[in-house]
Amino acid sequence: MMDEAHRTDRSTRALVARPGARFRCFGDGLCCTDLHALGPLTPGEAADLRRIRPESLEWNDEFEGECLRVDAAGVCRQLTADGRCGIQLRYGPDRKPIGCRRFPYGLVDTPLGRRVTTEHRCPCRSLGGAARPILELADAQSCLRDRSGQLEVDGAAPDRIALARGEEIDFSRYAEIESEILRRLENGERAETVLAAQPFPALATRDWAACGHDFVGMQDGSAGGVALAWFGEALLASTVGAKPAVHMRPWRAAFERGVARSPVADDPERIVNDWLGDELWMLRWVDWKGCSFRTTRAELATRLAVARTVMQRLAPLGLRADQAAAEAVMVAGLGACTTRWPEQVAAFIDSDI
């Protein structure tokens, strides 16, 4: 952890977007469903919503806090018939919960600037190709401010990065290595070649089959639970050859809206590379116990293999190839947002990667 003086110093550094990142919200609506956690709300947000819309809230045992309530279809009850946020329409964007205003943006402190990140669990982020505008830092900044007007940081990168177990380098040197990887991804080189790491490395504890079954068991009736089951079954199919069960795709309508606004199909490999570029850019792994850059390349290679398996599973359904890729990276991205995944990565045997 950084001391407060160091954190304050970093707060003056400029916002930086990943080169080539594109995003605009087109209202595809996936972020307003239970594919994502609609909470937990801060105590202040819960109190505010309780005053103005008490029916907006429900207690969530998993988060041990209050969340936005969804209807029987898993859609936020505050959405209007035309898919707009009722809280924003009635009370303005500043009354929306912070999590709703931020998604899919994130903010990570680094010694070389404050990185604006984006999640690819949204067809607005993954579909549309060059029709999507370059990410605007001003738009991101307005979404990343808390109710006091301060930029809220999700995480921080240390001054020195673990390149491999027992080997550290200055962040500036790491940024040079990362920049070359990002350049190769942006230029369309095959992702597996760029990562140069084997998926599903040997584990010190808990085998891959147990991990896959853990994710399959996360089904809880929500769209997010179904997506995590897809993630688990792709792990099982890739490691022990298990045949996946048949599941619905409750996120289907949002991705079909994304395809409808994108008449020209994008290259699915570009969607995959763009996702991996942002996974690197957000530096999620620096907070994972025992994780080095060497480990995270194997971690990303593993989730890339999961995405490939999901894409293969979707192919017989007649989806356009870019839609299949977008749905696959959504599944692979969601898996890393669980507490189970960093625990699994901590079990990678570094010497075998």
Host H or E run for residue 306: helix 293-314
Q: How far is CA 204 from CA 201, 215, 337, 351, 352, in A?
A: 10, 19, 22, 11, 11
Structure tokens at 113: 């600037």
In this structure, are residues 239 and 200 in contact, taking their beta carbons and an 8 Å threshold?
Answer: yes
> What are the residue ranges spanned by the domains of the chain?
4-156, 160-352
Q: What's the CA gap between 42 and 26, in Å, rounded?
A: 27
In this structure, are residues 306 and 279 in contact, taking their beta carbons and an 8 Å threshold?
Answer: no
Count CB-CB contacts under 10 A for residue 173.
13
Q: Give the torsion through C-alpha atoms of 308, 313, 317, 322, to 10 deg.
A: -10
pLDDT truncated to tens, each residue of the chain (353 aa)?
344 434 445 667 899 999 999 999 998 989 999 998 787 888 888 888 888 788 888 887 777 888 999 898 899 988 888 778 888 888 888 788 888 989 999 999 999 999 999 999 999 999 998 889 999 999 999 999 987 889 999 999 999 999 998 999 999 999 999 999 999 999 999 999 999 999 999 999 889 999 999 999 999 889 999 999 999 999 999 999 999 888 899 999 999 999 999 999 999 999 999 999 999 999 999 999 989 999 999 999 999 999 999 999 999 999 999 999 999 999 999 999 999 999 999 999 876 66
Dihedral (CA of 167, 170, 176, 178) sign: positive
**CB-neighbour burial class of residue 167 (10 A; exposed 0-12, middle 13-18, buried 19+):** exposed
